[in-house]
Amino acid sequence: MSGAPILSPSSSKFPIAYVDIRVFSHATEDLTKVETAVRNILPETLAQDAVFNKVNCVGHHGNPIVTVETKLSDRALLLSVLEKIGTSLSSLDKEQLDEDMKSRIEKHNLYLRFDKQNAFLGTLKLTSNDPIHLKIHFKNRKPDEIMEICRQAGLLP
């Protein structure tokens, strides 16, 4: 796949099947702001239409937590998620992602985690502490192919 352009979303071989997004909203956080942070990761067309499923949970110490999830499966728009992330990440984060990429890919899935506060403010920053979780599922793609798709979309340098 190296060097080949990313396939058209209308192609039966389009590499991205869906994107799952999950984030926890703690009792100390404003749920509306957490949802805004998630929407800020997405291209405008997807952000407007994103529907969030919310599940009330209880933390280890009895604190209320809301799990906020959405699944994006409109193939015509999935590539734009990668492209938006690619244009929003700093060059330093892209370098870090490039170094960590193989550990972020498992069973055709790419796992990314973004800082909620930065996303709320309109910027993307990779983090592992209380993040917004993205799982991007690629259909039948090897890690090297996933990396090439991400490079073409601008996620990697």
Contact 137, 18 (CB under 8 A): yes
Q: Judge if pTM exceeds 0.95.
A: no
Chain-centroid distance of CA 95 in Å reads: 17
Q: How far is CA 119 from CA 34, 62, 88, 127, in A?
A: 9, 27, 10, 11
Q: Where are the alpha helices (DSSP H) in 25-88?
A: 31-41, 44-49, 75-88
**Full DSSP string of 110-122:** EEEEEEHHHHHTT
Instruction: Domains for the chain: give ranges and CATH numbers.
Output: 16-153 (3.30.1440.10)
Q: For the segment 125-144, what is each residue's pLDDT rounded down to a tens digit?
A: 999 999 999 999 999 899 99
Q: Which residue has the tokens 């409109």?
A: 74
Core vs surface per residue 61-78: b (16+ CB within 10 A) or e: eeeebbebebebeebebb
DSSP SS3 for 96: helix
**Structure-model confidence comparison of residues 49 and 34, the more confident one:** 34
Structure confidence by residue, pLDDT tens digits, 107-121: 999 999 999 999 999
At residue 5, the pLDDT reads 47
H or E element at residue 135: strand 131-138
Q: In 10 A of CB 85, how many CB atoms?
A: 24
